[in-house]
C-alpha cells in the first residue's frame, strides 16, 4: 500500500540516495521480519498521533546526524521502528546486514566502506603527504566482478557472484582473504581491501592490500546448504576466473582464508592454480593459510588470535595507560567477553585463559553463554560441548542467552568482538559497559559508535593492529613457499649440537662432578622448530608495531586507531616518494 499521497514530495529526499515511500516501507518490513518481530499494530498506516511523534521533514531521525533531510517516507519508517521498540537493540544489526547504501538511512551509522574512509580522513588530516598523494593512497586501484553458473547436486543451476578488489599496488604482491557469505558486495570487498593495505603498512609487511568475496547463500545469513562438492566447484571456478584475469599469483595477488573459508578452500585454490599455471615453480605461494601437507606453516591457525593477545597483554601491562582506567596492570583476573567462537575467537580465548584472564561470557550467532560461577567459563569444557553439539547454547555450566547482542552489553573489563563488522554501532554503544574494546574482527565498531564510546572513556584497541597476526604469519608462509624449505630445517640440529657442547663445558669446569638432569638438559638443548620461529617473529612484529602506535598516539594526541592509520599513510607515501610514480 502506498501511504505517501500528495505529501510525499521529493524536495526532502536525502541526497545520498533517494528512496520512495514504498521502497522505504519495503526495507523496513525486511528489517523487522529479519528480527522475528512484528510491531504492535502491524504494518498499518500511521495514526495521527504517530505522525505527530515522527520528526518533521528536514529534521534528523533518531541516531542520524543533524542535517539529514527526512521526508514523509522517513517518518513512516521511523513510526514502524517506534512500534517495534527495537531501534536500539535487535533492529540495527539486521539493518547493517542489508545493502550498505540502504542501511545507513535507517541507523545513521556509516556503511563499512564509508567508515574506513572516515577513519582514513581523520588520520590524513594529521599526515604530511600532499592531498594528491593522499587521494591516491585512499582510492581502490582495481575491482573485479565475475558471475558464473554452479550446477547444483539437485540438477538446478545457480548464478554465483564474486569479487576481488586490489586496493593498492605500492607493494607487490597484494594480499587479502576470501570470504564466502550472503552479504558480500563490491563496497564491502573494497573496504576490506583498504584495511589490508593499511594493516600491512602498519606492521611493515611488504604487501599491498586486497580482498575477495563470493556471494552465496541467498537470504540465509549463515548458509549451510552447499555440499562439499558444490563448495569445491565454486572455489575452483572462482580461482580459474582469477587466473584468466591475472588476479592471482605468487608475485601478483595472494589470497588467504576469511569468513566462511579455511584451509580446505585454500588447498583447492592452490591445486587449481598449479593445474592452470603448471610452469610456475613458485605456484605453492599463490595462496596462504593452506594445510601443512600442502605447503602451509605451523602456527598459522593460531596467528590472528595470538596477535590479538600480544597487543592486549602489552596494553594491560602498561601501568601508565591502565592507571587512567583505574585498573590494576596485568591480564590476570581481568574479566573478558568474547563475541565469536570461530578460529580467531577460540585462539584468543585460549591465550587469555592461559595468562590468567577470566572469560565470563561468549557470544555466537545463535546465542551465547554466560558464566554463573564467578570464576570464569571452563573453556575446555565449552570446546568439548561445542564439538559435540555444534553450538555453545545450552552449555550446562553456564546461563544461555538467546539474544547474543545482549551479551555485548554485560559489565566486563575487556570486550573482544571477533565476528563481523559493525557489531558495535550507534544503537548499542551507549549500553556497552566494557572499559576496553579489543577489535579482533575487521571493522566491528562504527565511527558513530566510536565517538559515543570515547566520550564515555572507553579505550579501543584498533583492528588495524590487533588482527594483523594473520597476515604476518601468512607472510612467513609465503616466504617459506618461495624458499621451498621450512624454517629450522638448516639450523635446528646445529643449534642443539652447539648447546650440548656449551653445557658439557660448563659441567666440566664448574660442576664438581655434578650433571644437569636429563629433563633440564633436553629443555636447554632443544633447537628452534618452525613454530618457534613463527611465534617469535609474530610477537616481534606485533610488539614493534604496538610501540610505534603508542608513541604516535601520545605525540599527536590522537586515539590508537588514528595513530595506526597515520603510521600506515606515512609509510605508503614514503614508498611513492622514494620509488616514484610510473610512468
Residue with cell 614514503: 574
CA distance linking residue 362 with residue 367, whole number of Å: 9
CA distance linking residue 60 with residue 115, whole number of Å: 20
CA distance linking residue 207 with residue 202, whole number of Å: 11
Name the strand (E) or helix (H) holding 151.
strand 142-151
Q: How far is CA 356 from CA 352, 434, 535, in A?
A: 6, 18, 20
Compute, in degrees rounded to 10, the torsion defined by CA atoms 83, 87, 88, 90: 90
505: closest CA among 493, 518, 515, 491? 515
Answer for the pair 347, 306: CB distance below 8 angstroms, yes or no. yes
Strands (E), 216-267: 253-257
Q: What is the DSSP letter of 12?
A: G
**φ/ψ (deg, to 5) at 562:** -60, -40
Q: What is the DSSP letter of 98?
A: S
Phi-psi category of residue 466: left, alpha or beta, with phi > 0 → left and psi -120 to 50 → alpha: alpha
Residues serving a catalytic function are 211
360: closest CA among 290, 410, 293? 410
For residue 257, the cross-strand partners are 178
Percent helix, strand and coil across the chain, each rounded to 5? 50, 15, 40
Amino acid at each position: 500500500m502506498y501511504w505517501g499521497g500528495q505529501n510525499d514530495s521529493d524536495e526532502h529526499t536525502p541526497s545520498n540516495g533517494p528512496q520512495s515511500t514504498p521502497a522505504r516501507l519495503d526495507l523496513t518490513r525486511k528489517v523487522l521480519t529479519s528480527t522475528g518481530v512484528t510491531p504492535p499494530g502491524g504494518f498499518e498506516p500511521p495514526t495521527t498521533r504517530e505522525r505527530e511523534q515522527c520528526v518533521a521533514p528536514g529534521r534528523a531521525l533518531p541516531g542520524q546526524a543533524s542535517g539529514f533531510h527526512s521526508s514523509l517516507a522517513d517518518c513512516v519508517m521511523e513510526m514502524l521502528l517506534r512500534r517495534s521498540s527495537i531501534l536500539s537493540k535487535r533492529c540495527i544489526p539486521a539493518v547493517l546486514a542489508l545493502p550498505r547504501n540502504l542501511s545507513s538511512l535507517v541507523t545513521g551509522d556509516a556503511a563499512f566502506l564509508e567508515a574506513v574512509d572516515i577513519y582514513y580522513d581523520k588520520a590524513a588530516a594529521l599526515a604530511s603527504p600532499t592531498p594528491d598523494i593522499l587521494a591516491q593512497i585512499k582510492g581502490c586501484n582495481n575491482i573485479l566482478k565475475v558471475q558464473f553458473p554452479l550446477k547444483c547436486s539437485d540438477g538446478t543451476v545457480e548464478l554465483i557472484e564474486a569479487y576481488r578488489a586490489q586496493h593498492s599496488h605500492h607493494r607487490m604482491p597484494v594480499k587479502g582473504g576470501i570470504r564466502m557469505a550472503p552479504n558480500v558486495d563490491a563496497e564491502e570487498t573494497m573496504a576490506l581491501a583498504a584495511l589490508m593495505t593499511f594493516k600491512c603498512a602498519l606492521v611493515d609487511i611488504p604487501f599491498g592490500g586486497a580482498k575477495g568475496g563470493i556471494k552465496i547463500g541467498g537470504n540465509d545469513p549463515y548458509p549451510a546448504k552447499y555440499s562439499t562438492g558444490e563448495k569445491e566447484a565454486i572455489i575452483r571456478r572462482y580461482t580459474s576466473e582469477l587466473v584468466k584475469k591475472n588476479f592471482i599469483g605468487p608475485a601478483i595477488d595472494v589470497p588467504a582464508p576469511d569468513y566462511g573459508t579455511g584451509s580446505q578452500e585454500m588447498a583447492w585454490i592452490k591445486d587449481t592454480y598449479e593445474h592452470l599455471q603448471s610452469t610456475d615453480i613458485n605456484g605453492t605461494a599463490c595462496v596462504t593459510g593452506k594445510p601443512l601437507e600442502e605447503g602451509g606453516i605451523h602456527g598459522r591457525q593460531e596467528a590472528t588470535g595470538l596477535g590479538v593477545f600480544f597487543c592486549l597483554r602489552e596494553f594491560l601491562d602498561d601501568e601508565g595507560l591502565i592507571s587512567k582506567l583505574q585498573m590494576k596492570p596485568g591480564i590476570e583476573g581481568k574479566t573478558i567477553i568474547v563475541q565469536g567462537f570461530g578460529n580467531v575467537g577460540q585462539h584468543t580465548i585460549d591465550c587469555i585463559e592461559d595468562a590468567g584472564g577470566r572469560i565470563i561470557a561468549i557470544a555466537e550467532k545463535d546465542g551465547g553463554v554466560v558464566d554463573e560461577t564467578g570464576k570464569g567459563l571452563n573453556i575446555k569444557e565449552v570446546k568439548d560441548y561445542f564439538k559435540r553439539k555444534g553450538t555453545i547454547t545450552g552449555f550446562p555450566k553456564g546461563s544461555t542467552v538467546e539474544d547474543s547482542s545482549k551479551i555485548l552489553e554485560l559489565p566486563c573489563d575487556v570486550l573482544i568482538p571477533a565476528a563481523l563488522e559493525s557489531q558495535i554501532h550507534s544503537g548499542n554503544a551507549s549500553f556497552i559497559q566494557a572499559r576496553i574494546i579489543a577489535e579482533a574482527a575487521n571493522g566491528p565498531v562504527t565511527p558513530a559508535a566510536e565517538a559515543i564510546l570515547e566520550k564515555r572513556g572507553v579505550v579501543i584497541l584498533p583492528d588495524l593492529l590487533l588482527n594483523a597476526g594473520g597476515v604476518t604469519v601468512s607472510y612467513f608462509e609465503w616466504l617459506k613457499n618461495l624458499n621451498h624449505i621450512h624454517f629450522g630445517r638448516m639450523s635446528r640440529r646445529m643449534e642443539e649440537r652447539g648447546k650440548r657442547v656449551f653445557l658439557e663445558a660448563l659441567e666440566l669446569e664448574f660442576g664438581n662432578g655434578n650433571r644437569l638432569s636429563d629433563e633440564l638438559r633436553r629443555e636447554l638443548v632443544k633447537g628452534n622448530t618452525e613454530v618457534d620461529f613463527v611465534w617469535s617473529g609474530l610477537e616481534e612484529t606485533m610488539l614493534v608495531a604496538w610501540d610505534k602506535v603508542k608513541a604516535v598516539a601520545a605525540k599527536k594526541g590522537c586515539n590508537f586507531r588514528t595513530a595506526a592509520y597515520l603510521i600506515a599513510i606515512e609509510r605508503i607515501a614514503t614508498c611513492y616518494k622514494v620509488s616514484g610514480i610510473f610512468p
